Amino acid sequence: MQVTQTQSEGLKRGFTVTVPAGDLEARRAARLAELGRTINLPGFRPGKVPASLVKQRYGEAVNGEILEQALNDSTTKLLEDQKLRPATQPKVDLISGADGKGDLQFKVDLEVLPEIATPDLSDLQLTRLTAKPSAEVVDKALNEVAKRQRSFETIEEDRAAQNGDVLNVDFVGKLDGTPFDGGTAQDVNVEIGGEGFIPGFAEQLEGMKPGEEKIITVTFPAEYQAQELAGKEVTFDIKANALKKPIDPALDDELAKKIGFEGIEQVRDLITKQAENEYAQLSRLRIKRDLLDALSGKTDFEAPESMVDAEFNQIWQRVEQDRAGGELDEEDAGKDEETLRADYRKIAERRVKLGLLLAEIGRAKEITVSREELMQAVRQEAMRYPGQEQAVFEFFGKNPQAAEGLRGPILENKVVDYLIELANVTDKEVTPEELAEIPPADL
């Protein structure tokens, strides 16, 4: 195999590789001989098929197989001999020899990973924000539990529906005068002034009496999940059936037993622990952001353009989806296309650099992902699809590379944990609202 370097600019490398025709012919002959010993053809004993007939029948397929094998083997050897670590899959282009005649010559173009020195980590200063669930937070959650168990008492008084009442109705939703899917229902309890319906729906039922009918007009939100209705103005034919008063149950042991607990304190403890877990996740998200901000100043190396392109394309796909759904935030919506692309390109570059730095720190500190950790990630992925867990397990079993795709995030989190443990961390208690402030999108 002969190798000639054609490019060495920044992280980009280019080579021309030549595999002698003699080497290829030796491989073809060996493969045809192997087939001759194993194939069965009518009129010939096993292993006695003439070589000329084997070549006639299988020569073209064997040539394709040998070429592919030679390309893969030669490219692998090139990377090993040159001690190259590709940033992405090398691009291989045939120059000559595809017809099986003469030498095989091809080009290999790739980007390599940059040399990353493990930075000085002794000056890492981080603040861990923490919060405790207040009695008000727990009480509010308890009241929501009670609200879901509320009963309804019919109001016998002859009066119109008021704010806080519940009106039982039948309705038919129409778009351009035609009923639409999912827009018809009977015996639905609508709380006047409550949430859960299209904005403007419940508000227009105020003042109706049982037995009355009316037509209301509402507009679906622009981000409504059913695209055929998003942003559309529709009408609803409303028939009021009964006026009711919601009765919330007392926050006592009887309520707790109704929902499967021994007592109300057990429910309160569970709500408290759930809130603590939520706050702990938010706390980790915030300190991870602080850590990445601190590390960002230590990424003084070039990011492979191919990796930045791939990351940017993923980000931009989500941006376009948000834009199509009218969900871009106000700041992004006010930017022109060029500015928006430039901003998200910077975010992509930051992410790539931080990912490479974390991977290098993990390699230097011999932080690895165990098989059990990988299998646990597969199990967690399967749990995201209730009722289809077995299909998910089978998918990962048949596609080991997909399971390997889960390794990166696990390794990153382990390196983050290592760095947080290494850093000088100051704890600071804040309110749950302060803790929940959403970090910028480049995390």
Tokens 């727990």 sit at which residue?
A: 138
pTM, two decimal places: 0.73
Sign of CA dihedral 72, 75, 81, 87: negative
pLDDT at 439: 61
CA angle 421, 425, 429 (to 5 degrees): 125
**Whole-angstrom distance, CA of residue 268 vs CA of residue 264:** 6
- Spatial contact of 89 and 47, defined as CB atoms under 8 Å apart: no
**Whole-angstrom distance, CA of residue 231 vs CA of residue 243:** 31
| Structure confidence at residue 440 as a pLDDT band (50, 70, 90) | low
Q: Residue 327: which H helix or E strand, with range?
A: none
pLDDT at 412: 92
Task: Label residue 220 exposed, middle or buried (CB < 10 Å: 0-12, 13-18, 19+).
Answer: buried
| Structure confidence at residue 310 as a pLDDT band (50, 70, 90) | very high
Task: Label residue 352 exposed, middle or buried (CB < 10 Å: 0-12, 13-18, 19+).
Answer: buried
**Whole-angstrom distance, CA of residue 11 vs CA of residue 5:** 14
Instruction: Judge whether residue 325 has pLDDT over 80.
Output: no
Instruction: Judge whether residue 127 has pLDDT over 80.
Output: yes
Structure-model confidence comparison of residues 440 and 383, the more confident one: 383
> How far is Cα of residue 103 from the mean position of the Cα atoms in its chain?
46
- Spatial contact of 35 and 54, defined as CB atoms under 8 Å apart: yes
Left (φ > 0), alpha (ψ -120 to 50) or beta: where does 217 sit? beta
Choice among 34-38, 230-234, 419-423 with the minimum mean pLDDT: 34-38
What tens digit of pLDDT does each residue of 331-363 get? 888 888 999 999 999 999 999 999 999 999 999
**Whole-angstrom distance, CA of residue 36 vs CA of residue 30:** 10
Strand pairing report for 151-154 and 125-130: unpaired
pLDDT at 54: 77
What tens digit of pLDDT does each residue of 147-206 get? 889 889 999 999 999 999 999 999 999 999 999 998 999 999 999 988 778 889 999 999
Task: Compute the average pLDDT of residues 370-389.
Answer: 90
What percent of the chain is predicted at pLDDT more than 70?
99
Q: If we measure between CA atoms, which residue out of 239, 247, 245 comes closest to residue 162?
A: 245
Instruction: Judge whether residue 226 has pLDDT over 90.
Output: no
Choice among 93-102, 132-141, 233-242, 426-435 with the minimum mean pLDDT: 93-102
pLDDT at 82: 93
pLDDT at 211: 95
| Structure confidence at residue 46 as a pLDDT band (50, 70, 90) | confident
Eight-state DSSP code of residue 1 = -
**Residues 403/404/406/407 CA torsion (nearest 10 deg):** 140
Instruction: Count other Cβ atoms within 10 Å, centred on residue 435.
Output: 17
The SS3 of residue 179 is strand
pLDDT at 342: 94
Instruction: Judge whether residue 210 has pLDDT over 80.
Output: yes
The SS3 of residue 244 is strand
Average pLDDT, the chain: 90
Eight-state DSSP code of residue 263 = -
Q: If we measure between CA atoms, which residue out of 211, 97, 99, 111 comes closest to residue 161?
A: 211
What tens digit of pLDDT does each residue of 159-170 get? 999 999 999 999
Structure-model confidence comparison of residues 289 and 323, the more confident one: 289
Instruction: Judge whether residue 330 has pLDDT over 90.
Output: no
